[in-house]
Amino acid sequence: MKIAVCIKRVPDTETRIRIAGDGASIDETGVKFIINPYDEFAVEEALQRRDKAGGGEVVVIALGPDAGQETIRSVLAMGADRGVLLKAERIPADALAVAKALAAELKDGGYDLVLFGKMAADDYHHGVGPMVAELLDLPCVTAISKLELEGGKGVAEREIEGGVEVVEFALPAVLTAEKGLNTPRYPALKGIMAAKKKPIEIKPAALGEARAIVTSLSLPPDRKAGRIVGEGPDAVPELVRLLRTEAKVL
Amino acid sequence: MAPRFEGVDFYDVGSLLSEEERAVRDTVRQWVDDRLLPVINQHYLEGRFPLQLVPQMAELGLFGANLPEEYGCAGLNNVAYGLIMQELERGDSGVRSFASVQGALVMYPIHAFGSEEQRKTWLPKMASGEVIGCFGLTEPDFGSNPGGMITTAREAAGGWVLNGAKMWITNGSTAKVAIIWAKTGALDDASSIRGFIVPTDTPGFSAKDQKGKLSLRASDTSELVLEDVKLGKDALLPGSKGLKSPLSCLTQARYGIAWGAVGAAMGCYDEALRYAKQRVMFGKPIAGFQLQQQRLVEMLSEITKAQLLVLQLGRLKDQGKASPQQVSLAKRNNVDMACDIAREARRLLGANGILAEYSAMRHLANLESVYTYEGTHDMHTLILGEEITGIGAFE
Ligand SMILES: Cc1cc2nc3c(=O)[nH]c(=O)nc-3n(C[C@H](O)[C@H](O)[C@H](O)COP(=O)(O)OP(=O)(O)OC[C@H]3O[C@@H](n4cnc5c(N)ncnc54)[C@H](O)[C@@H]3O)c2cc1C
């Protein structure tokens, strides 16, 4: 079983974000970067599938600056076999540009499965996975929470509003992972040492022209300070009145 | 749930680490947040070691992590090993103690003084957590002065017979194997001390939990009794010779403790800083009062110094150049500063500081054991005093 997992390096979801001087990107000084949390589920699924199939290869692919190598290596430490960094000065905001570069890399790879996280935690696009599927003309199931594979076929479950959707598809296919698909493993310390010796191929990303750009970024407004309307049972009528008239939640 | 710990690193010490070293640190850090911290309070209050975490720790490769891969260990350098200890002790000193004993006090002597057969028999099983070990040096009447021990090993037909008692033995009741130090010659002859591998199910060996601890409660501390314990010839660690053998194990463990103390201090500082920013008194966060700022600044300064100290010690150790006295200085300095920081953090937290819900008081109580074991603070003062003056103040 040959599986590709496409991963993105994103700011730690718990870092405090500051906007950079250009007003359209984040200031990266002191920001800790991690693998996109949804991609971790994709990685874990790929590793489990490979091991269950009793062999094959898990190739991890990232697009972006050099620092992406560290993210790739963290996945090699979890057990992936080799990495590819499609080098670009920065990760374009244009999902289609990213998808085209990834598709060009994946096209002749002979992969049975191409896995993504359902979205990137930094841009919320949800776009790159399905776009790659489209470009490769492969079936695509997004936000899967369960997966069964047998023969040349797969069955995936998606949690949709109020229920579960079961989707059958033919391999090769592109899948994007939802939280809860599995429990991602910790890289064992031996894995971290072994990752040093695994190959990472670095080549320029075939990025076309970016046709969508971010023009500005802003932080959410500060929350207004709370107000104490009184104490004890006496305060209840006033509280109810304000919830009705001001907050309009009742 | 507590927010994820992001480390304390005012001087960008992280940039002095290799990518692998950072990856090791971050992996253990996350494991501590995810798996250890959610259960530690309950275990601490009940006075039980969280034994259920041992398989996970083994799977990560935390046991004997700086020993070679051919014995099933992770083969890390000493800095990465130190970072493991730092992160574990940010969780709890008892859990770090478990890993120290398993790796530095049991696996290390088997590796350093054992025969190839002993290494092959024990090390892979200990790395995988299948066998838990303990280290018996201290006796009821011989603590700081282990050379005075009265446990004996006598040669008998086909092997050895051990008699004596050991006290304060971490993992003592949990262990499947004990490294027991005993005199093979006269009681006044410390050079006759040798190490023995003793399976704890050998007749005559018994362990009893030491009750009533108010420190290191999430750790098993036991008394061992050896009554005519009969062992084969192959129980002896052939390379062990004299008091310097167990002392060299202690140097390994102390090295890890110096790192661990930094972790405990970081945990306390992190908690105190968060609390200070959020606790409002007299109309503003207590972090806005000069006295609390000074507390926090002192903590950060001491942590930063301690952090650089252990890193350089680790680099020296990786070059084979760290002396036992340098390790003494780091253990002495770092555990002492961690004790101070834990106490100040607890005070900063006010009444909440005495609750198990916060970690400061648990760390504070734990660190009192760490201050005493592996050579008391005083003994390290004397070791260093002798080193710099050339005049021994003890023995
Ligand atoms: C929780 C815990 C776990 C432990 N785990 C282990 C273990 O796994 N294996 C093991 O072998 N041991 C273990 N120990 C034992 C530990 O190493 C000893 O407690 C330590 O060496 C001190 O010995 P002692 O308690 O007998 O104190 P003592 O030696 O009696 O010292 C009492 C006081 O006198 C001071 N003192 C002693 N000699 C001098 C001197 N010459 N000059 C000035 N002051 C001096 C000491 O600093 C101390 O303040 C553990 C201890 C604890 C608390």
Q: Quick check: B75 and A193 CB within 8 A?
A: yes
For CA atoms B25, B27, B32, B34, give the dihedral sign.
positive
Q: What are phi and psi of B238, to 5 degrees?
A: -60, -30
CA A43 to chain centre: 10
**CATH 2.40.110.10 placement within chain B:** 133-235
Q: What is the pLDDT of residues B126-152, one digit of tens each?
A: 999 999 999 999 999 999 999 999 999
Residues 6+ apart with CB under 8 A from B155: B184
What do you get for the CA distance between the two ends of chain B, in Å? Answer: 51
Listed residue (B117, B100, B118) closest to B195, CA to CA: B118
Question: Token pair of B213, please?
Answer: 């601890």
pLDDT band, residue B2 (cuts 50/70/90) = low
User: What is the reported pLDDT for A145?
Assistant: 97
* Minimal CA separation from B202 to chain A, in Å: 34
B229 CA distance to ligand 1 middle (Å):
26
Neighbours of A154 (CB within 10 A): 23
Four-way CATH pick for B244-389: 3.40.250.10, 1.10.287.3240, 3.40.50.2300, 1.20.140.10 = 1.20.140.10
- CA B7 – CA B304 distance, rounded (Å): 11
CA distance B264 to B160: 42
A-B C-beta contacts closer than 8 Å:
47
CATH code for residues B133-235: 2.40.110.10
Amino acid sitting at position A230: G
Q: Alpha-carbon dihedral of residues A149, A155, A45, A184, nearest 10 degrees? A: -140
- Our measurement of the distance from residue A144's CA atom to the centroid of its chain's CA atoms, rounded to an integer in Å, reads 13
What confidence category does residue B1 fall into, taking pLDDT thresholds of 50, 70 and 90? very low
With a cut of 90, say whether residue A229 has pLDDT above it: no
What pLDDT is recorded for position A222?
A: 82
Tens-digit pLDDT profile for residues A137-164:
999 999 999 999 998 999 999 999 999 9
In chain B, residues under CATH classification 1.20.140.10 are: 244-389
Residue of B26, B29, B32, B35 to mutate, testing the A interface (most A Cβ within 10 Å of its Cβ): B26
Burial group, residue B141, by CB count within 10 angstroms (0-12, 13-18, 19+):
exposed
Q: Is the pLDDT of residue B177 over 90?
A: yes
pLDDT of B345 strictly over 70: yes
For the Cβ of B11 lying below 6 angstroms from any atom of ligand 1, the answer is no
Q: What average pLDDT is seen over chain B?
A: 97
Residue B137 CB less than 6 A away from ligand 1:
yes
What are the sequence ranges of the domains in chain A? 2-204
Mutate to test the interface with A, among B6, B18, B26, B27 (most CBs of A within 10 A): B27
pTM reported for the whole predicted model: 0.90
Superfamily of domain B13-127: Acyl-CoA dehydrogenase/oxidase, N-terminal domain (1.10.540.10)
Over residues A2-25, mean pLDDT: 92
Among B20, B31, B62, the residue with its CB nearest the CB of A192 is B20
The string of pLDDT tens digits covering residues A121-135 is 999 999 999 999 999
Tell me what pLDDT residue B113 has: 98
Are the CB atoms for B363 and B342 separated by under 8 Å? yes
Positions of B marked catalytic: 374
Q: Is B102 in the pocket of ligand 1 (CB under 6 A)?
A: no
Q: pLDDT tens digits, residue range B214-264? A: 999 999 999 999 999 999 999 999 999 999 999 999 999 999 999 999 999
Q: Number of C-alpha atoms within 13 angstroms, CB side, residue A113? A: 34
Evaluate if residue A184 carries a pLDDT over 80.
yes
**Which token pair is B267?**
């945990």
State both tokens at B210: 């030491």
Least-confidence region, from A177-191, A232-246, B377-391: A232-246
| Interchain contact, A189 vs B4, CB within 8 Å | no
> What is the pLDDT averaged over residues B82-103?
98
Q: What is the pLDDT of residues B187-198, one digit of tens each?
A: 999 999 999 999
Q: B148 C-alpha to center of ligand 1: Å? A: 13
- Rg (C-alpha) for chain A, rounded Å, is 22
Cβ of B98 closer than 6 Å to ligand 1, yes or no, is: no
State yes or no: pLDDT of B3 exceeds 80. Answer: no
Q: Does residue B79's CB lie within 6 angstroms of at least one atom of ligand 1?
A: no
According to the model, what pLDDT value does residue B92 have?
Answer: 98
Per-residue pLDDT of B97-135, as tens digits, reads 999 999 999 999 999 999 999 999 999 999 999 999 999
Enumerate the residues of chain B whose CB falls inside 8 A of the CB of residue A78.
none
- Please check the confidence at residue A116 and state whether its pLDDT lies above 60: yes
Span B272-279, mean pLDDT?
A: 97
A2-204 CATH, one of 3.30.1490.100, 3.30.365.10, 3.50.30.60, 3.40.50.620: 3.40.50.620
Provide the 8-state DSSP code for A167.
Answer: E
